[in-house]
Structure formats: structure tokens, C-alpha cells
Structure 1
Amino acid sequence: MTVRFKMHKPDQDLGAWAEAQGRRIKEELDKILEDVIAEAAEDMIRILEAAWTQTGADRAEAGGNGPGRVDSGTMRDAIRSRILTKTKDRTVGAWGWLDEFLEYFLFQEAGSEKYDVQFEGMSALQGSFVQARENFRTRLREIGREV
């Protein structure tokens, strides 16, 4: 008995095919990263808006914004997300106070005893990071990838 195999010659060589697959996967991962950091910025804003303080509660009772950390809106409105670096084999994204950072943002984020008032930090950046990490892992699993 004789068995013959006939090899189909692909339209492109294996190296070119693998390179094209790598580019396709990188584009897919870049899109996931863009989506996840945009969602992280939105999560950070939600955490900031919901973070209770006595000052915010007093402000709300007086008819202003509250009871979260939004008074003028400067800290909330400064939150952004964007891709910082994009090369053939690496993409770096970020969210948070990327363009504008005022000293009081840090006190609100981490908490403070400044001005003889002690208050708990809102941990908006940390909370949004924890959620972003989980969202990124979930999206990778959805396309058959793992971290």
C-alpha cells in the first residue's frame, strides 16, 4: 500500500503568515487596552463622585454638589485616559490625572490630616486599577489569551 501526501503551497511563506498573525493579535490587544483604560477613567470618576466626606455632605445639604468629592469639578474633569506609547511590539496606556495635577488631588486620593482635618482617602486611582486589571484579564480570556 502506498500513501502519498500532497502539500498545498500557501500564498505566502510561513514567516510572513506568522508576522501577519502577530500584527493582528497586537491590534486586537491594543484595542482591548484602549477600551480598558477608557473604562478605568470612567470608574475613577464614579468612585470620586461617590466618595463621601462630611464637607461634601454639608455642601449637599446646603444645595450644592455632594456628598461626593466634587465641588468645582476641577479634580474630576482632569481625569483622562490615553495611549502613551505605541510601537511594533509594545503599547503603554494610562489613566488618571495625566495633564493637570493639583496638590489637593493627592490629599483627596490618599487622605490627609492637612489643615487639622483628618479624612479618609477616596482611593479612586487604586480602585479603578483593581477593576481595570480584572477587566483586562476578562477580555483576554474572551479571546483565548491569558496573562
Structure 2
Amino acid sequence: MPQISLRISKNIDIVQLDFNELFAAIHDVLREAPNVDVSTCQSGVIHEDFSYIGLGEDKRTKVYLELYWVETEQRVAIKKQLALQLMKILEDYIVPEVEQQKLICIPRVRIANFGVLDQDYYISQRTPAVS
């Protein structure tokens, strides 16, 4: 049930980026995390309509990966290691492509807690109709 959002600033040409490969690498790393069911993971890209970075410098970019999950003691224990693995993926897959666009890319990773399931965070109990 993790949710992954990659926020990309407006000045990055996302046509140059391979998101399928990127998210496949992220999901591979998440498979190693305790009790993470990657088949329920919801991942996506938010390409901002407006971005203001630093002092409004055109060459600076935003590449901000957010992972939300319900924290457990086991997940908290691996959080830093996981963040470093996710950062490495961004540095390998995204940074070179952004730098080829003559932009400055310093990615960020945030791993955050949804809170308590059915108290802070809710998932529909609806059974989807399959055609």
C-alpha cells in the first residue's frame, strides 16, 4: 500500500525521462522492505505547472521523491538505508538525463508515515468490478 510520488519541476523536459525503468528500480528496492506488498504500490509523477526554486534561477530543478507508508518498527529501522538506496536510483536514472538538459539537479527523498490505518489513513473497502 505504499504511495510514491515524484515531483518534477516545470523546467525539466520529462519526455527525456524513462519513468517505467525508474519506477521498476524503485519497486525492486521496495520488495526488500519488511511487509511491503509492491503489487499494491501506487506510483506516479507530478510535473508541476509552476515551479519556483531558490531565488527563481531557471537552471535549478526540483526532483523530489516522496514515499508514504504505514510505519512499523521494522520499517523505521531500515528507513535511512532505504532513503540512500532511493537517492542512488534518482542519481543513476534521473540526474544524468536532467543534466543533459543543461540544468542543475540535486534530488531529494522523503519517506513519511501515513499514520495509523483506519485512523489517519483510509483505503476503500470496495471490491472493484472486473470486466
After TM superposition, the score normalised by the length of structure 2 is 0.41
Please state which structure has a larger fraction of its residues in strand: 2
Please state which structure has a larger fraction of its residues in helix: 1
* Structure index of larger Rg: 1
After TM superposition, the score normalised by the length of structure 1 is 0.38
> Which structure carries more relative contact order (alpha carbon 8 Å, separation 6+)?
2
